[in-house]
Amino acid sequence: MSSQQKLVLADTHCHLDFPEFDADRNEVIKRAKESGVEYIVNVGSDLVESHRSVELAGQNEHIYAAVGIHPHEADKFTPDQLDTVKELAQKSKVVAIGEIGLDYFKNFSKAENQRPMFKGLLKVAKELNLPVVLHTREAAVDTISILKDFMPLRAVVHCFSGDEAFLKQCLDFGFYISFTCNITYKKADKLRQVLKVVPLERMMLETDCPYLSPEGFRGKRNEPYQVRLLAEEIAKIRNISIETLAENTTQNAFKFFNIKI
């Protein structure tokens, strides 16, 4: 048996329900499993996508769902949507609330609308005792300020892009840190330095597909099978074996999302 077959990897954040996968979704899922990516968490970005995420998890044994509303959707948010998220979150194989948070980089929604929605979704997570998949971009100060009011909280900072100061705050909260294929980009030296100091027992892997294809594939659709390439790159950066990295990050995913195998 090859080492590739022996590795068990988890893509802890992807969007396989997106239309980019409509033509060949089953083939994409099969390709991932053949590459050792045996567990996938499909993450909702709005109510429609959260519904689809739940459906996808129901159709595939090794796929799990997170449900939530992305900060980009905050200008359209109404409080009754929290009831829908709460209802969805109690469906079979839903393992987290997400992705939720703050995004002051693209400003697709006003910051003053993002904050109350974020708080409302955190309340849902606390009520249901579910972990949270955090999206935070150029909003570290407000993110930390809001999260302090909801501690203790299980959370993973997805697609980590912050500095070491923000990392320390997240680790002090007990959060997990998830890295994507942007770690492979030529200009990602600062991010690679941050990656070196994240404890292995707090690290997870993700593609955020169809976004963030690795170096050499940029401009093309990303897929869960690329977690294999991501794992190889991180193992090199950390100077550890890919087997060690895979075992730790996959076990972290099982623990964080409470996935029973």
Bridge partner list, 94: 65
Distances (CA, A) of 9 to 29, 34, 50, 231: 13, 11, 23, 8
Q: Where are the domains of the chain?
A: 3-257
At 260, list the tokens: 């029973």
Residue 3 has pLDDT above 50, yes or no: no
* pLDDT category of residue 2 using cuts at 50, 70 and 90: very low
192: Cβ contacts below 8 Å, ≥ 6 apart: 183, 237
Class of domain 3-257: alpha beta
**pLDDT reported for residue 106:** 85
pLDDT of residue 104: 97
Task: Please state the rounded mean pLDDT for residues 42-60.
Answer: 98
Percent above pLDDT 90 for the chain? 96
Contact 64, 93 (CB under 8 A): yes
pLDDT above 50 (res 69)? yes
> At residue 148, does pLDDT exceed 90?
yes
Q: What is the pLDDT of residue 4?
A: 43
